[in-house]
Amino acid sequence: MIRVVVASLSSAVENAIRSSACIEIAGRIDADQLSSAELSGDVLLIEATDALDHDWQALADLPIPVVLLLDSADSGPIDSALRSGIRGVLSGDATAQEIESALYAANAGLVVTTPAALAELLPAAQPFTEELVAEELAEPLSERELQVLDLLAEGLSNKLLAHRLNISEHTVKTHVASIFAKLGASSRTEAVSKAIRRGLVML
């Protein structure tokens, strides 16, 4: 369970994250009161609207990691926010699943944004494709194993992973063991690291 403090969220976004069995709304706060607030949750989720002054550094200096829902399609604010230390920047139309994944990633100390934003920020980077990755592996990962791998990257335990995919913990362990074997990894951390390098996981 991840405890989320929300700031200036629309009712649609708040209702979307409430639908997750793995998220608890720990509190609400106005965006203009953040500097003086006592934040008791794990992650702060805030919608960055025109009313926000875009003081990214002040947000990054808060005692808990921050995930922004940013309406702007311009890569400039996204770049500035990430460079200031904000853990996650998503588009304002992000799905509940994307927001949940970003919250878990931020809580785990990772940085997350959208593939489109990343493509703009790193225009020279050569994109990976699952087809290219599959050629490098002696045995490609199945669709289910890729789903498990994505959740491993979020730091979910076997129990939470089983709940998310509606499968048994025994089945989860079987998939994890298969992923380790195919990637040549001996731990979750190593498996995720190798998967990121191959382009199988995007954080």
79 and 29 in a single domain? The answer is yes
Tell me the chain's radius of gyration from C-alpha atoms.
18
pLDDT per residue, tens digit, the chain (203 aa), is 788 888 877 777 777 777 777 788 887 877 666 665 567 888 888 887 654 556 777 777 888 888 888 876 566 677 777 777 888 888 877 888 888 888 888 888 788 887 666 666 655 444 444 444 444 567 888 889 988 998 888 888 888 889 989 999 999 999 999 999 988 888 888 888 888 777 777 65
CATH number of the domain bearing residue 187? 1.10.10.10
State residue 125's pLDDT score.
Answer: 45
Q: Which of 102, 121, 140 is the last residue of a domain?
A: 121
Residue pair 25/4 in contact (Cβ under 8 Å)? The answer is: yes
State residue 47's pLDDT score.
Answer: 81
Strand (E) or helix (H) holding 43: strand 43-48
Domain hosting residue 161, numbered range: 130-198
Partner residues linked to 70 by β-bridges: 48, 91
CATH number of the domain bearing residue 103? 3.40.50.2300
Residue 39 counted as domain residue? yes
Tracing tokens 């708040």 back to the chain, one arrives at 14
State residue 51's pLDDT score.
Answer: 43
144 and 75 in a single domain? The answer is no
Q: How many helices and strands (H and E) does the chain possess?
A: 10, 6
Structure tokens at 38: 């006592």
Report how far residue 176's alpha carbon sits from residue 188's, in angstroms, rounded to the nearest whole number.
8
Report how far residue 202's alpha carbon sits from residue 34's, in angstroms, rounded to the nearest whole number.
30
